[in-house]
Each structure stands twice: as C-alpha cells, then as structure tokens.
Amino acid sequence: MTATRTITFTLNGAPVSADVKPHHNLVELLQTHFGLTGARETCGQGLCGCCTVIVNGRSVSGCLYLASFVDGADVRTVEALDGAGKLSPVQEAFIEASAFQCGYCTPGFILMVTQLLDEHPDPDEEQIKHYLTGNLCRCATYPEVMDAVKLAARKRKAAASA
Amino acid sequence: MATTLNPAAKAGAQVGRSVPRLEGRDKVTGRAEYTHTMRLPGMLHAKLFRSTVPHGRIKSVDTSAAKKLPGVLHVVTVDDVRKVLPHPYYGPAFHDQPILADGKVRFVGEPVAAVISADPHIAEEAVQLITAEYEELPAIYDEVEALDTNIFVHEELKPAGTFADLKHLKGAKGTNLALDYRLRRGDFDKAYAAAAHKFEHEFKTQKVLHLSFEPFACICDYRETGVTFYDSTQGPSFVRTEMARLLGWPENKVRIKVPYLGSGYGSKLYIKLEALALALSMIARKPVKIAYTFEEMFYQITRHPSTFRIKSGVDKDGRIVARKCEVFWNGGAYADIGPRVTQKSGLTAAGPYDIDNVWIDSYALYTNMTPAGALRGFGVPQLVWAYENHTDMMARALNMDPVEFRRKNLAVEGKPHATGQMLKDHPVDKVMDKVLERMEWSKPFDKGGSGHIKRGRGFAIANKAVISPTTSVAIVNVAADGSATLYCGTVDMGQGSDTAMAQMVAEILNIPAEDVRVTPRDTDVTPYDMGTLGSRSLFHMGHAVRRAAEDARDKLKALAKEVGEPEGSNIPIADLFQKRYGMQAGNVIGSGIYKPDYTPPAPGTGQSPNVTPFWMVAGSGAEVEVDIETGHVKITKLVNVVDCGKAINPKSVETQISGAALMHLGFSMFEKMHLDGGQVTNASLADYKIPGFHDLPSVLESHYVEHDQSNGPFGAKGVGEVATFCVGPALANAIDDACGVRLMEMPLNAEAVYRAIRAKQGKPLEEA
Ligand code: FES
Ligand code: FES
C-alpha cells in the first residue's frame, strides 16, 4: 500500500529493528513483529488503557501511537516486568488481591500502577482513582485494583527498606 | 509430590479456601493467550462490509473495485458462501441467521460481504470500495408494535428443530413473534376483580451491550481432513455441533480450541463469527481470522430491550393475591437465544413472592435492530427492574413500609413458586435481612433537609431459576507421578471457574488445588458441556467434576487393593503406580456426567413440580444523593447480597458480586445504545460510557449468606450473574425516596431524573 521504513529502537532493554508502514500503530508492531501481546487494542480511541506501553519513560496509548514514532526510542512493555522470572511487587499484589478477572485490561493497569508508585510511593485513594481514570475494566475489578495498589505500595516499601 | 490417596487433611481444606487464581501469573505478565491477539502461520484476515439500511432487499452488491485492489485475495458474498456451504443459515433456536446477508438485510450493520487479504489494512481499505444498492423496506423497532404490525422481519420462521416447544412455529408466516411463553396459576381475572387494591404499571429497559474488552474473534483453519477453530467462545461444544451440522460432518472432524476469554458476559455464546470464518477459510483454503474492532461489537449482539406491563391485586391486609405479567422482549433481527430468555426468565416474572393467582405472557419479538441475546442474567435484570419498582410503588400507595409489605408476601422455603415447584434452598428472607442489616435500615435516616441535595435509600430483592435441563461431562486424569489434570468444557472467561473446579478435584484427591492442572478447552480432548452460561457451571460442571474425581479416587483405591495395600493405606500415589507398573507409568482416568432431574412445564400453564434444580437469590440496597437542581445522582452506598450456597472460593465469590453489581450500575445509571432510524449513533467508547474508577459508590459492600445448596456439589451453586438483578430497582427506589420521582425506564441519568423532577413540579422540559 505505502512505503515501508526501517526503524530501530530499544525494546525491553534490547536493541531491535523493524520494517513498518506509516499507518501501523505500536500495538500492531509489538504483536506482529515481536510476538508481544500484553499490549492489546480494545477501544482504539485512547480511552481504555488496554494498549498501554511505556515510551521513553512515559505511558502512551499504543492504539494511537504510530509505530514509526518509536524510532530511536526506549520502549518498555509489561513483558519486561518479570525480568529473570521474578514477578514485580505490583504483579504479585495483583495476584494476591485478585485484581483481575478476564485479565484483558490487566497489563495496562499494571504498567500504570507501576508508574503511579514510581511517582507517588504512598498514594491515597483519591490519587489512585485519579491516576487510573484512563484505565477501564469491563469486569469492574476496581475495588480489587484499589487493594492491589495499596498492597503493592507496602511491598515496594518493604523491599526498599530490606 | 507426596500425594496420598486417603485424605489426611480435614474435609474442606481445599473447598472454601480463597485459592489465588491458577492463571494469575499468565494474566499479570501479559502472557495469557486470547484469540484476538493470536496468529497462525500463513493466516489471512477478513474484514466485513455491512448494511447501512435497517430493512431492505438487496438489489446489487458491487465488489469489482474491491477485487481490483492489490493484495485482495477474495471478496465474498452469500453466493460464494453457498458454493461451499449449501445451507448457510445458523442459530441456536431458529436457523434464521444467514452467514452473509441473503437477498435481504434486517438491521444496520448486518454483514453483507467479506474481504480476505494477508494484510488486514488492505482488507479494510477494500471494504470501503464495496457498494450496495437496497430497495428499502419499512422497518420496525419497538417490541410492542412488533406484535401487531404488517412489517415482518422474516418471511417465514425457521425453528432449529432442537427444541420441541418451537416445532409448531415451523413455516409460520406473517408474524414477528418467535416465542410466546405462558404461565397460568390459579385464576388471575377472578382474584384481580375481587382485590381491594389494584395496581397497573408499565416499565421499560433500554438497549445495552456486553462490550467485552476482548472483542469478538475467531480463526478457522479448514482442511479437507478436518477443521480447527481458535475461538473466543463461551460454548465450544455447541460450536462444534453446529459447525459439524453446517459441514455435514461427524463432530470428531471439528475441533474447537478456546484460549482464555477477554470475557463474554453472555455475548460469546452459540454462533457468532464461527460460521462466517468457516466459509471464508473454505474459500481461501488457508486459516482466516476475523477479529472485531470495538465499534463492530455494536452490530453483533446486545441485551434485550423490554417492555413489561405488570398488574397486581392486593387484599385489604396487604397480601398480593393476583399478578399479571406481560413481557415483550425486543430480540432484534435474529432470534439467537432470545426464545430461551423469553421462556426461562419469563417463568420468574412474578418475582420472589407468594402469589396464588399468576398470569404470565412473555413474547420474543423480531425487530430491525442488532440481535439480542443473554447478558449476565439471562433476562432477569429486566424483569426485576419492573417488579421491584412496582413493589415499592404499591407499598407507597398503600402507605405500607416497603420492608413490611415485602415480608408479608415473600415466597419463603416450602412455599410454591408460580410454576408450582416447591421452593427449597431459596433463602430470600435471609438475603433481605442481610441487606437491611448492612443498610442499617432500622436506624433513622438523614434525608438531607431543605437544600438542593436530597438523600434517599431503597432496596430490592429477586430470584432466578437456573436454566434446565442441561448436561456437563468431566474427566480427571491422574498421572503416574500423582499429579492430576482436569478436562472440563467450562470456559474460564474471568469468573475463576478453573480455580474453583481445581479446588473440587483437589478436595477429593486430597492434594493442593494449585497442583491440579486444568487443560485449556479443546474439543478434541475436552468432553461435552452445554455452555458457560446462566450461572450453571459451578453446579452442573461442579457435579461432573466431583463425580470424575470420585471415580478417579475409587479407581486409585482399587489399584491399591490390587497391589496388596491394606485397607486405609496412605501410600503415596506415585508409589502405587510404581508398584503396579514397575516404573513411573500408567494413568488412572475418572469420568463424571451430570444432568439434573427435570419435569417439562405443562404446555399452556407452565406448571411443573421440577422446573429448575436451583434458585439464585439476590438483594441490593442503595443510598443516593440527588441534586434536584441538576438531576445528578451520587451513589453513596451500594450493598449487594446474594445466596451462592457454599462459597468454594470466597474471594472469587466476592469479586463476582462486586463485578456484576458494578457492571449493572453502568446499565442502570448511564449506559444506552442510541439508535436513530435504525442507525447506532454512539458505537464507540467515547460515546458509550461504561463504569470507571470515578463511578464507584462511596461505599460498596459484597456479601453472601451462608446457606448450603442441599443438592449442590459441596453445597455450592452459581454466582456469576446474581448480583446484577437488583441494582437498578434499588437505585430507582432510592431516587424516589430522595426526591419523589419515579423513573419507569433505565438509565437513571441526570437528564431523566431532572426531567422527572420538572414534570413533578408542573414545569416539564420540552422533549429534546
Ligand atoms: S485500545 Fe488504546 S486506549 Fe483503548
Ligand atoms: S479483568 Fe476483564 S476487563 Fe478487566
């Protein structure tokens, strides 16, 4: 259809390259070129958070973010969080608090919660709600996510003081 | 693993424990597999061209430009489908739905043609190049009008033949009525005529939809020797049977593989994309994937809008003596499971009350809208919406306390239901008491004084009969190292069924639930199950799983005896196999089947001593603040109580209660699919709002009453939908309590509330 272009970027710490077309978005790039399906497209409008990806340290909606824009960038996905097979404190907290049902929205929530706790290690409920307004869950696991965030904050604190 | 065959741990060690979800790690690491994100080597993509008119004859479809686009492999219409599948119609109750529109279109968004390409973007571009001409026909949208009109959605009714009670509809012409269910108990007319007080109301529910975050997806890989589907479905066994029927093949050549589901809530039942994917793969001779966008979900399946006319006669002591229910279900263009919703929910239309004279008419109707099916409650939330508003309105009119009025009329244990079945394990009184206790109902309530914020509270109760009769089969395979694998067709779409089923196996084999593996659904190895629907699985599949595990345990015991172990030996299972086979070899396979007893309802009266194996009971209480200057409603407290029998996994039960209630909060307060001349005008997440973090009530409570289901596996029964039933009417009752307005239709959004307030003040707003 249209011209293909080669981009190079860092994906979960490793240098990679891919041939992309101008209309490919980041979700499609991750799924088709790298087999990473943790970021997934639901609304396609930047409103649900299921497609969350971290680009240069900032969360973006992969459904609206053109693949060619990550040329030269540092890209991190949910698949990077359990490095060396060890779950992150946020992931552990989501399991312990039962903060998912179907799990389709879960990677997006986990990335956002990780970023939230990086910025506010000890958030109150209002901060949590506010930070996570862009993440929707049709299974409505919001009460459990709230518990998971608080639990993750405690886990991270304990790990830091250990 | 030192698993032993005679239980040393106390009973209940696995059942009743909040075992963390077995699939948790896959879900939090983003590695859980879903059909929508799956790829097969050599796979092609299909995109659909859809009807832009609600009702019309297809004059022509021009695919020539699409075919010319480089990269397009096939452009398919029903004529091409017929070449591979000569009878391209499907459906669970009626074979009324064509794989692609056949001569006529019946709703906006109906698939008319499909484009296949290796690149989904090319397929999408090609779809834009297709044009169609229609001879537009008048369309019908309203469910009540559909009963009495000369606009017919279908020329002729085509019952599937699988349901005996639909046979008489075969070939019927000149009607939109797909099913007419009746229940007659006592003499309604006489009792109503004699009643001291008479009440008559009409309630409506709007069109809402499931919107699973994993949109519909199916991959079909057809070969002459067999066909494999990778499918986001809640009912793999049904898909297999129906695909075999379309192909004229034995079932063993059809394989349905189901990874995790990005949920379903009833949308992914029966046939959705499978028949089309099959046709396309047959034509392309390659694996073909159809994966919907968010918008396309608005053109697949929704919940039934409904109109419910309810009449009650009450005697001078406040006893309801007569009730008539006329329910009209707006089924959209194709029947899907609507006739079953109409009947199986219709039978509970009179509510959890003890009423001697009951008359129910429940109508499934065709209209020119997106088809309707089951949505977390199988029709019951629409019924409860009506009868619990009605109950409060009567109590108010009679100057009776809504608690006392209900207490006088509750159908408690040992009373007959309207079907004639004696109620057992139906603790509606306990559920109501728990709601009232958590609402602190007996304490004085602050109604908010003279300002513009008015406070109110309300509650509602309800019941539902599980759909019956249905069958489940399970297999438990114990390997020579003592580890156990469960094969069961219940689809874990987020409700936690894999974990709960594993807990039952673990309980019987006396091993940790975490050590039981549940195989992903694959009809080549997973035995039959009717479907993951209507909260039936934990009970029906639970029994099958329990029996399979008991069968395996008994065979292990026999094996112990065979190798000379003394009675009551607790030799580790691995040693047992070692002794018997001389090495780590062999298997023990247990199987279990469950189908409950059932007596079909008598035709015409719906009477049966055994219409359902269990009842679900729910109650909700709500406190609200209504701003009478804007109509804005703030939910300050929402309490949801259910009876789930014994909780197999208490944490899962809790999340099912809160998840179901919050989903229903959306349906009650703001969700609505808007239609204008048959066109959906808000088919996106930007325009169709669903609940988010900020919609949580200030206080949200989930409770269950402890009441073992006497015929349930380990005393358990299903809990996936029950907390949806009462949220809407509890909120409406609270709004009325706060500001004296009664809304007869959902959603209860600020506009509706404000209009009602203005109308009450004698200053109605103009219609928009
Ligand atoms: S899919 Fe990107 S925000 Fe919803
Ligand atoms: S867990 Fe299902 S959408 Fe969030």
Q: How confident is the prediction along chain A (162 residues), in pLDDT tens digits per residue?
A: 568 999 999 999 999 999 999 999 999 999 999 999 999 999 999 999 999 999 999 999 999 999 999 999 999 999 999 988 999 999 999 999 999 999 999 999 999 999 999 999 999 999 999 999 999 999 999 999 999 999 999 999 999 887
Provide mean pLDDT across the span B273-300. Answer: 98
**Shared domain check, B588 and B613:** no
- Bin A46: left if φ > 0, else alpha if -120 < ψ < 50, else beta: left
Res. B6 pLDDT band, cuts 50 70 90: very low
Assigned token pair, B227: 């066909």
* Residue B658 one-letter amino acid: S
* Residue B259 one-letter amino acid: P
Nearest-angstrom CA–CA distance, B583 and B565: 17
**Shared domain check, A103 and A153:** yes
Q: Beta-carbon neighbour count of residue B439 at 10 Å?
A: 24
**Shared domain check, B372 and B511:** no
Provide mean pLDDT across the span B139-149. Answer: 97
Please indicate, yes or no, if residue B372 is contained in any of the structural domains: yes
The predicted-structure confidence for B230-270, as pLDDT tens digits, reads as follows 999 999 999 999 999 999 999 999 999 999 999 999 999 99
Strand (E) or helix (H) holding A103:
none
**Shared domain check, A94 and A61:** no
CATH number at residue A39: 3.10.20.30
pLDDT at B368 over 50: yes
pLDDT at B557 over 80: yes
**Shared domain check, B733 and B637:** yes
**Shared domain check, A93 and A57:** no
Please indicate, yes or no, if residue B492 is contained in any of the structural domains: yes
Assigned token pair, B398: 């009679």
pLDDT at B7 over 70: no
Strand (E) or helix (H) holding B83:
helix B78-84
Choose the final residue of a domain: B565, B594, B623.
Answer: B594
DSSP secondary structure of B237-283? HHHHHHHHHHHT--GGGEEEEE-B-S--TTTT-S-SSHHHHHHHHHH
Residue A84 confidence (pLDDT) = 86
Please indicate, yes or no, if residue B181 is contained in any of the structural domains: no
Question: Which residues, 6+ apart, have CB-to-CB distance to B195 below 8 Å?
Answer: B313, B314, B315, B321, B322
CATH number at residue B519: 3.30.365.10
Task: Decide: B506 and B26 in contact? Cβ < 8 Å.
Answer: no
CA distances from B198 to A115, B195, B405, B567 (A): 60, 7, 15, 69
- For the CA of A51, the nearest atom of ligand 1: 2
3-class secondary-structure state, position B362: strand
Q: Kindly tell me the sign of the dihedral angle through the C-alpha atoms of B36, B37, B42, B46.
A: positive
Residues 417-436 of B with CB under 8 A from A: none
Residue B109 confidence (pLDDT) = 98
pLDDT at B147 over 90: yes
**Shared domain check, B625 and B496:** no
* Residue B700 one-letter amino acid: L
pLDDT at B476 over 50: yes
- Closest alpha carbon to B482 in B402, B400, B586: B586
Choose the final residue of a domain: A42, A61, A80.
Answer: A80
The total domain count for chain B is 3
Burial of B410 per CB tally in 10 Å (0-12, 13-18, 19+):
middle
Cβ of A102 and B215 within 8 Å? no
Q: DSSP character for B305?
A: P
Please indicate, yes or no, if residue B357 is contained in any of the structural domains: yes
Question: Which residues, 6+ apart, have CB-to-CB distance to B147 below 8 Å?
Answer: B176, B177, B328, B363, B365
Residues in chain B: 768
Cβ of A87 and B25 within 8 Å? yes
Residue B10 confidence (pLDDT) = 46
Residues 31-70 of B with CB under 8 A from A: 31-34, 36-37, 39
Ligand 1 centroid to A134 CA: how many Å? 9
Task: Decide: A42 and A104 in contact? Cβ < 8 Å.
Answer: yes
The predicted-structure confidence for B27-53, as pLDDT tens digits, reads as follows 999 999 999 999 999 999 999 999 999
Q: Which domain holds residue B238?
A: 43-137+216-291
Pairing of β A5-11 and β A74-76: parallel
**Shared domain check, B454 and B330:** yes
Nearest-angstrom CA–CA distance, B27 and A82: 12
Residue A114 confidence (pLDDT) = 98
DSSP secondary structure of A18-45? EEE-TT-BHHHHHHHHH---SS--SSSS
**Shared domain check, B536 and B494:** yes
**Shared domain check, A106 and A69:** no
* Helices and strands (DSSP H and E) totals, chain B: 17, 30
**Shared domain check, A38 and A16:** yes
**Shared domain check, B585 and B606:** no
Please indicate, yes or no, if residue B105 is contained in any of the structural domains: yes
Task: Decide: B211 and A138 in contact? Cβ < 8 Å.
Answer: yes
Task: Decide: B512 and B543 in contact? Cβ < 8 Å.
Answer: no
Nearest-angstrom CA–CA distance, B37 and B585: 38
Of the candidates B37, B263, B696, the beta carbon closest to that of A31 is on B37
Looking at the complex, report in whole angstroms how far the Cα of residue A92 sits from the nearest Cα belonging to chain B.
Answer: 8
Place of tokens 């891919």: A18
- Ligand 1: does its nearest atom lie under 6 Å from the Cβ of A48? yes
Describe the strand order of the beta sheet including A52-55 as a list of residue ranges. A14-20, A5-11, A74-76, A52-55, A58-61
The predicted-structure confidence for B598-608, as pLDDT tens digits, reads as follows 999 998 999 99
- Closest alpha carbon to B368 in B78, B99, B89, B110: B110
**Shared domain check, B55 and B127:** yes
- Closest alpha carbon to B357 in B410, B299, B303, B420: B420
Ligand lying nearest the CA atom of residue B210:
2
- Closest alpha carbon to B372 in B475, B451, B303: B303
Describe the strand order of the beta sheet including B177-185 as a list of residue ranges. B177-185, B357-365, B320-330, B306-314, B197-205
Please indicate, yes or no, if residue B3 is contained in any of the structural domains: no
Choose the final residue of a domain: A80, A98, A127.
Answer: A80
Provide mean pLDDT across the span B488-515. Answer: 96
Of the candidates B261, B658, B693, the beta carbon closest to that of A133 is on B693
- N-to-C CA span, chain A: 56
Whether the complex's predicted ipTM is more than 0.95 is answered with: yes
pLDDT at B370 over 80: yes
Ligand lying nearest the CA atom of residue A60:
1
**Shared domain check, A135 and A102:** yes
Q: Which domain holds residue A53?
A: 5-80
**Shared domain check, A116 and A73:** no
**Shared domain check, A115 and A63:** no
Residue B12 confidence (pLDDT) = 56
Assigned token pair, B679: 């066109």
Residue B1 confidence (pLDDT) = 38
Ligand 2 centroid to A100 CA: how many Å? 6
Pairing of β B97-98 and β B615-627: unpaired
* Residue of chain A minimizing CA distance to B33: A37
Cβ of B262 and A32 within 8 Å? no
DSSP secondary structure of B663-718? HHHHHHHT----EETTEES--STTTS----GGGS-SEEEEEEE----TTSGGGB--
Res. B3 pLDDT band, cuts 50 70 90: very low
- Cα B135 vs. chain centroid, distance in angstroms? 36
CA distances from B328 to B308, B481, B748 (A): 6, 57, 21
Candidate from A28, A43, A133, A135 with most ligand 1 atoms within 8 A of CB, to mutate: A43
Nearest-angstrom CA–CA distance, B742 and B413: 32
- Closest alpha carbon to B329 in B43, B93, B647: B93
**Shared domain check, A151 and A115:** yes
Residues 18-37 of B with CB under 8 A from A: 18, 20-21, 23-34, 36-37
For a pLDDT cut of 90, what percent of chain B falls above it? 94
Please indicate, yes or no, if residue B297 is contained in any of the structural domains: no
**Shared domain check, B720 and B705:** yes
Strand (E) or helix (H) holding B521:
strand B521-522
3-class secondary-structure state, position B222: strand
Residue B4 confidence (pLDDT) = 46
Assigned token pair, B618: 């729910």
Nearest-angstrom CA–CA distance, A28 and B567: 61
CA distances from B122 to A40, B45, B67 (A): 21, 9, 11
Assigned token pair, B268: 């992914």
Ligand 2 centroid to A131 CA: how many Å? 18
pLDDT at B164 over 80: no
Strand (E) or helix (H) holding B495:
none
B119-124 contacts at long range (C-beta below 8 A, 24 or more positions apart): B119/A1, B119/B45, B119/B71, B120/B45, B120/B47, B121/A1, B121/A21, B121/A23, B122/A1, B122/B69, B122/B70, B122/B71, B122/B72, B123/B45, B123/B46, B123/B47, B123/B72, B124/B47
- Closest alpha carbon to B75 in B129, B20, B7, B12: B129
**Shared domain check, A149 and A109:** yes
**pTM of the predicted protein model:** 0.97
**Shared domain check, A73 and A137:** no
**Shared domain check, B655 and B570:** no
3-class secondary-structure state, position B737: helix
Assigned token pair, B91: 């459906």
Residues in chain A: 162
Cβ of B29 and A38 within 8 Å? yes
The total domain count for chain A is 2
Choose the final residue of a domain: A80, A115, A137.
Answer: A80
**Shared domain check, B228 and B107:** yes
For a pLDDT cut of 70, what percent of chain B falls above it? 98
Choose the final residue of a domain: B568, B594, B620.
Answer: B594
Res. B728 pLDDT band, cuts 50 70 90: very high
Res. B170 pLDDT band, cuts 50 70 90: confident
* Residue of chain A minimizing CA distance to B35: A37
Nearest-angstrom CA–CA distance, B384 and B723: 12
pLDDT at B350 over 50: yes
Candidate from A94, A110, A137 with most ligand 2 atoms within 8 A of CB, to mutate: A137
Least confident piece of the model among B56-60, B297-301, B342-346, B720-724 = B342-346
Task: Point out which residues pair with B616 in neighbouring strands.
Answer: B464
- For B674, list phi and psi in degrees, rounded to 5: -90, 135
Cis bond leading into B20, ω under 30°? no
Nearest-angstrom CA–CA distance, B340 and B166: 10
- pLDDT averaged over every residue in chain B: 96
Residue B731 confidence (pLDDT) = 98
Provide mean pLDDT across the span B54-76. Answer: 98
Choose the final residue of a domain: B594, B615, B639.
Answer: B594
∠ at Cα B175 (B172, B179), nearest 5°?
Answer: 80
CATH number at residue B83: 3.90.1170.50
**Shared domain check, B97 and B229:** yes
Please indicate, yes or no, if residue B539 is contained in any of the structural domains: yes
Q: Kindly tell me the sign of the dihedral angle through the C-alpha atoms of B270, B273, B274, B279.
A: positive
